Amino acid sequence: MSTNVYVAGVGSTKFGVLPGRNLQGLAAEAARAALVDSNIPSARIGCVFVGNFVGGIMTGQELLGPIVAADLGLSNVAAIKIEAACASSSAAARIGHDLIRAGAEDAVLVIGVERLTGAPRDALTSAMTAAIDQGTEGVAGLTFPGFWGMVMARHMHLYGTTREQVAAVTVKNRKFGVGNPLAQFQKLVTPDEVLASPPISDPIRRYDCCPATDGAAALVLTNETLAKQYGSPAVRIAASVLINGPARITDYDEITTHDGTVRAAIRAYEIAGVGPEDIDVAELHDCFSVAEIVDSEDLGFFAKGEGGPAVAGAPSARNSKVVINPSGGLLSKGHPTGATGCGQIYEVVMQLRGRHPNQVPNARFGLTHNGGGTAAAVTVHILETSR
Amino acid sequence: MSTNVYVAGVGSTKFGVLPGRNLQGLAAEAARAALVDSNIPSARIGCVFVGNFVGGIMTGQELLGPIVAADLGLSNVAAIKIEAACASSSAAARIGHDLIRAGAEDAVLVIGVERLTGAPRDALTSAMTAAIDQGTEGVAGLTFPGFWGMVMARHMHLYGTTREQVAAVTVKNRKFGVGNPLAQFQKLVTPDEVLASPPISDPIRRYDCCPATDGAAALVLTNETLAKQYGSPAVRIAASVLINGPARITDYDEITTHDGTVRAAIRAYEIAGVGPEDIDVAELHDCFSVAEIVDSEDLGFFAKGEGGPAVAGAPSARNSKVVINPSGGLLSKGHPTGATGCGQIYEVVMQLRGRHPNQVPNARFGLTHNGGGTAAAVTVHILETSR
């Protein structure tokens, strides 16, 4: 009795430093673009899910669901905010997907939005730690550069991953960013520049870190009937998975393997009936350069310890055809936390439509991976072209 | 292909001033009680939805879904926070209900939690305005006592509602609060005491306002199969509606009639196949005393303008058998914003089980009404006893 679920429309603002814009305005801009792109009348939308992480802390604004719905002229919807830290809007996509798949809704508007710039740097660092349990590791002083610094040091120790291999992630994603007009950073960096950038949380340096970003992205999800009726340029969601992982470092057996990602990937491949070898293009959660390496291993693209050599171009490590983060990733496109998940799906949809500025030739299967907290909330989406 | 949805288990902390407790701990306490009450093994839970409004602003803590799930030992769930201001956890119940009803999930744990005490008073007032559009009416200085003060003045002007009738709401709900061990206020007030309490936002006085409250409540929702299999003391959800209303005062034609409530009620009665005359007990969103009067009219219990005379005991205004807010309501039980929606459902479930400390005799149908912002997010749940 379940229907296929399609991404009928996508929309996005520019990602970057967007002074003078508020959450409502950014969200509405992306949503309007997605509605137009979908060709589906907005009266068919049953739910508006706004993925957002720190809108309350950073801007004092909550209740984004009804406010944005009103701005869009939608007066008869179930409108809520969904929060799962940096995985907020992909988590919202998962709930929308499930409602449509089971037949509870015909069309759902999923929006991700965040404003992170314009605040003092310590306010931002403090806001981000809202995704760390303040009752335990938060009060102990843990931050995300701290967490990922430990992950990077441990990955180098366990697998012999080199500083240069990790820097290759930034170099690659900066190159992709140059080609993506939505990207925050459109400037190349050299390996030497990464290695010489100021230390942040040893061994992480500044160019290993994604920037603070403002932006919004939106998706119109729908069922087979409406996708056909309105002839929208649909991409099918072959799998939509949200799963929880360890919410504290102390719950990890080994911090270089992210249990939530591993389990989400296994389930997503099973649902979609494909394996990592079938994925042509992937947008991964490279909040720090080493994260892309860890993710690429946990998602099965490379064996554990082979992610570093693979990104640095080692032929033997390449047991996958996947192109990773042709959007520029979080490192170059930027990381407007609550918007990132929808932004990743936006990018993969454009790839599967054959309309991406950094097009992967003949892309058929795309994957997105989005994580919140210490990989405490993980989503994996597998998308398939309907062309 | 849809299944009936049941509230298989409920749990709640005390509502009140709970110093030293954090959101995670309160949420886990209520959730554990609901899981035990349901008799359903926690391994059957597919989603954990945490309704919370200002956890970020007031405590700096987000990502409550995965953190609370981890504390409950749930390691394989879709765990998110859902926010719709003061309707956050009833909105979460609606999403959980829909997923179960359509067959996408077998059992969902819905938790509402908030901590509002312990902060300076202006910090709390400021936090609450996160439910007002800061791009328009927020920057103009609107607060919720301001909004409800206008509603009250206008209701008195249009319908001749008296100051004494509005005070009767507080007097009634304080009386109920004395009988409810979960209630924050367990002390009677007289009409004179209400009228003599300090002015807050003319004509609203202090005893017209709900208090700042800490607390959590939780529900285990499930399908017919699991409810029968585990013999849980189930109450059926006959209707679960979430709808958006005007998100700004300027979007209202008339602020004494809340369009979102009217439409949510019409839809809920239609889905449940009952009318307001069938409802035995109702928990309404009396954040201010006049709100209960407005709600009781918009939900169809009384004609417009008859809510005031009805609460003051006018026999002619009584075209309904409903008992309103026997929990003590937000005015006496308290208003831990994100927890209030689940708390209301907790109260009605206890009534329908025949186990409420302020039991309404032979209660068969119960209704909850929960609103966020300027009635910008409204939920109506209709519950039916399975006894």
Report the distance separating Cα B141 and Cα A167, nearest Å. 49
Q: With 80 as the cut, is the pLDDT of residue A387 above it? A: no
Q: How confident is the model at residue A300 (pLDDT cuts 50, 70, 90)?
A: very high
Q: Is the pLDDT of residue A186 over 70?
A: yes
Question: Above 70 in pLDDT, residue A166?
Answer: yes
Decide if B377 and A251 are in contact by the 8 Å CB cutoff.
no
Task: Look at residue A119 in the predicted model and tell me its pLDDT.
Answer: 84
The separation between CA B328 and the C-alpha centre of its own chain, rounded to angstroms, equals 12
**B54 or B1, greater pLDDT:** B54
pLDDT of residue A235: 97
Q: What is the DSSP letter of A4?
A: P
The token duo for A102 is 């089971």
Task: State residue B47's pLDDT score.
Answer: 98
What's the pLDDT at B6?
A: 97
Most A CBs within 10 Å, among B62, B105, B136, to test the A interface: B62
Contact assignment for A133 to B24 by CB distance below 8 Å: yes
Find which of B244, B263, B337 to mutate to test the A interface (most A CBs within 10 Å of its CB).
B244
**Which residue in A80, A86, A252, A266 has the most chain B C-beta atoms within 10 A of its own C-beta, making it the best mutation to test that interface?**
A80
3-state secondary structure of A84: strand
Identify the domain containing residue B216 by its residue range.
5-119+212-229
Selection from B212, B203, B210, B201 nearest residue B169 by Cα: B210
Q: Per residue in A361-374, is it b (16+ CB within 10 Å) or e — as a string?
A: eebbbbbbbbbbbb
Q: Is residue A150 part of a domain?
A: no
Number of Cβ within 10 Å of residue B225's Cβ equals 12
Kindly report, residue by residue over A210-227, the tens digit of the pLDDT. 999 999 999 999 999 999
pLDDT for residue B164 is more than 70: yes
- Assess if residue B367 is contained within a domain: no
Contacts of A24 in chain B (CB under 8 A): 133, 135
Please tell me the predicted confidence (pLDDT) of residue A278. 97
Structural domain includes residue A79? yes
The pairing of strands A215-223 and A107-114 is: antiparallel
The residues that bridge with A5 in the sheet, in sequence order, are A223
Question: Is B20 among the domain residues?
Answer: yes
Averaged pLDDT for residues A143-155: 97
Q: Cβ distance A197 to A207 under 8 Å? A: yes
**CATH classification of the domain holding B37:** 3.40.47.10
Torsion from C-alpha of A288, A291, A293, A296, nearest 10 degrees: -130
Distance to chain A for B12, nearest Cα, Å: 21
Q: How many domains, in total, are found in chain B?
A: 1
Residue A82 maps to a domain? yes
Omega cis (within 30) before B203:
yes
pTM of the model: 0.98
User: Is the pLDDT at A56 greater than 80, yes or no?
Assistant: yes
* Shortest distance, CA A61 to any CA of chain B (angstroms): 4
Q: How is A12-50 classified by DSSP, letter by letter?
A: EPPPB--TT--HHHHHHHHHHHHHHHHT--GGG--EEEE
* CB atoms A243 and B130 under 8 Å: no
Question: Contact, A338 vs A203, CB < 8 A?
Answer: no
B286 to chain A, any CB pair closer than 8 A? The answer is no
Residue B111 has pLDDT above 70, yes or no: yes
| pLDDT for A82 beyond 90 | yes
* Closest-CA residue to B193 (of B175, B214, B176): B175
pLDDT band at A386 (very low <50, low <70, confident <90, very high): confident
In a domain, A51, yes or no: yes
Q: Catalytic: which of A258, A285, A335, A356?
A: A335
Smallest Cα distance from B329 to chain A, Å: 23
Radius of gyration of chain B (CA): 19
Residue A88 domain flag: yes
Each residue of B188-237: pLDDT tens digit? 999 999 999 999 999 999 999 999 999 999 999 999 999 999 988 889 99
Mean pLDDT (whole number) for A242-251: 96
Whether A45 is in a domain gets the answer yes
Cα distance between residue A102 and residue B79, in whole Å? 19
The stretch A42-64 carries a mean pLDDT of 97
Find residue A378's DSSP bridge partners: A243, A371
Widest distance between CA atoms in chain B? 57
The answer to whether the Cβ–Cβ distance between B63 and A373 falls below 8 Å is yes
How far, in Å, CA of B229 to CA of B68, rounded? 26
Q: How far apart are CA B327 and CA B348, in angstroms?
A: 9
Nearest-Cα distance to chain B for A116, in Å, is 15
Interface subset of A 67-106, CB within 8 angstroms of B: 67, 69-70, 74-85, 88, 91-92, 94-95, 98-99, 101-105
Which residues of chain A have a CB within 8 Å of the CB of B101?
104
- Specify the pLDDT at position A1: 58
Please write the tens of the pLDDT for every residue from A58-72: 999 999 999 999 999
pLDDT band at B318 (very low <50, low <70, confident <90, very high): confident
Contact assessment for residue B2 and residue A99, using Cβ atoms and an 8 Å cutoff? no
- Mean model confidence pLDDT for chain A: 96
